[in-house]
Structure 1
Amino acid sequence: MYRIVFLIISSALLLSCNNSNKDSINLPYYNEPTFTPVFITDEAEIATKITHKIEDFKFLNQDSVFVSNKNIEGKIHIANFIFTTCGSICPNMTRNLKVVNDSLGNDSQIVFLSYSVTPWIDKPHVLKKYKNEYGIESKNWHFLTGNKSEIYKLARQSYFAEEDIGFSKDGSEFLHTEHFLLIDKNKRIRGIYNGTLLLEMYQLIDDIRTLEQENFD
């Protein structure tokens, strides 16, 4: 609930800024699992205060090719967590993320990472079938599988996928979240979205375009 209230308030503020000065629009940083927004524009201050980044990783994708942190170097990426046998939120999440992917025209500087939370089931060939079933042709959208504990640790401690509640969960507890995470070119969290809501996908598209205009190294 607190996140929804924040999004409403921040959206109003951003719209106000947009009317007065388009160049003043900046996305917040999220440096901790409570998802408290931090608004900073000074590059030196960002370097010292925003310390949280996505940790290194290496997993197999749907084509049995290793995808790692090297694949997202200098690129914006969007992460989410699904499983192919999910009959509740995952199909809707995948369809909604496809809307985002399709709207960006296969931009090679934007990467989509869909991590399986049931990797013991979702082997590469299963993920490939899943990707094909949803008509996803993008080469920049990887469905990833690998060691369960490594995926869960990355999800909870790097992406804060279940917000502050997930961060404190035991690693063996099942991971199931509707959140999409927007990560900038320096692997810093810049947005969190409800992947079941199409309206939030339009906000995600706008935020990706905002990030593309940033020039921080």
Structure 2
Amino acid sequence: MIRIHFIFSFLVGLSLLACQTEKKKLPIYGNREAEEKVVDGKTIVDTIYHTIPNYEFLNQDSVIITNKVFENKIYISNFFFTHCPTICPTMQRNLLKFYEKYKGDPRIAFLSHSIDFKYDSPSVLKSYANKLGVDSEQWQFVTGDKASIYKMADNYFVYAKEDKNVPGGYDHQGYLVLVDHDKRIRAAYDGTDDEQVQLLFNDVETLLKEYE
């Protein structure tokens, strides 16, 4: 938990610093490895970045979706649960602002993972999406078994776990994670903080320009 909090505190700090200076490209976060390969008879060193792995989850329409849904798109991902009494309502309302701004734009999508694998069935997720005003496949709400959902949170560097001692029974972070066409994490933002949300609006435009 300490390591994950440190990672995202560091990411948020870098994002705020980057906002103060003109930038053309967002950084790429996570572990990276150098890999040698031969191209046209020459040995070159390529950088292999951390990426979001392949997955299968059940969405709000009871349809199994995979990472292919987000091919050739950037997307914003987060982790929540429908009866969350603390940070989720604010985080989801802020994410809704992006959905409303970019609704119908094929370049961008949204992915919310429920961490309540016991209660948040597809029908519950569908009702939740409808109440938010989400009526398109551009924003996917997904569920899965405990192991797959929590392992996926680790891949986003987001802390999430069951905890009967906290309100709602689940402890998690409210980050909105920006992912590029290659499934690389480009930045993360506190979805409950207005300044961070505005920064995400700016960085979405920056990332979209990378693919023009």
Q: d(CA) in 2 for partners of 1:56 and 1:172?
A: 24
Shift of 1:74: 1.6
Corresponding residue for 2:26? 27
Q: Which amino acid aligns with 1:51?
A: Y
In structure 2, stretches of 5+ residues that fail to align are 1-8, 33-44, 164-169
Q: Which amino acid aligns with 2:142?
A: L
Shift of 1:108: 2.0
Corresponding residue for 1:22? none
Are the counterparts in 2 of residues 117 and 175 from structure 1 also a CA contact under 8 Å?
no
Matched, 1:8 2:34: no
Corresponding residue for 1:101? 99
Q: 1:112-156 CA deviation, whole Å, 9 max, x = no partner?
A: 100000021100000011111111223210110011110100111
Q: 1:68-122 CA deviation, whole Å, 9 max, x = no partner?
A: 1111112111110000110110011110000011112331221110000002110
Aligned counterpart in structure 2 of residue 202 of structure 1, from 198, 201, 204? 198
Change (3 A) 1:4 1:70: closer
Q: Return the TM-score normalized by structure 1.
A: 0.78
Identity percentage over the alignment? 39
Are the counterparts in 2 of residues 179 and 192 from structure 1 also a CA contact under 8 Å?
yes
- Tell me the SS of whatever aligns to 1:29: coil
Higher strand fraction: Structure 1 or Structure 2? 2
Q: d(CA) in 1 for partners of 2:68 and 2:10?
A: 34
Shift of 1:7: 2.8
Are the counterparts in 1 of residues 15 and 187 from structure 2 also a CA contact under 8 Å?
no
In structure 1, stretches of 5+ residues that fail to align are 18-24, 34-46
RMSD: 2.2
Q: d(CA) in 1 for partners of 2:29 and 2:207?
A: 14
Larger C-alpha radius of gyration, 1 or 2? 2
Are the counterparts in 2 of residues 100 and 202 from structure 1 also a CA contact under 8 Å?
no
Q: Return the TM-score normalized by structure 2.
A: 0.80
Change (3 A) 1:111 1:196: same
Q: d(CA) in 2 for partners of 1:188 and 1:134?
A: 28
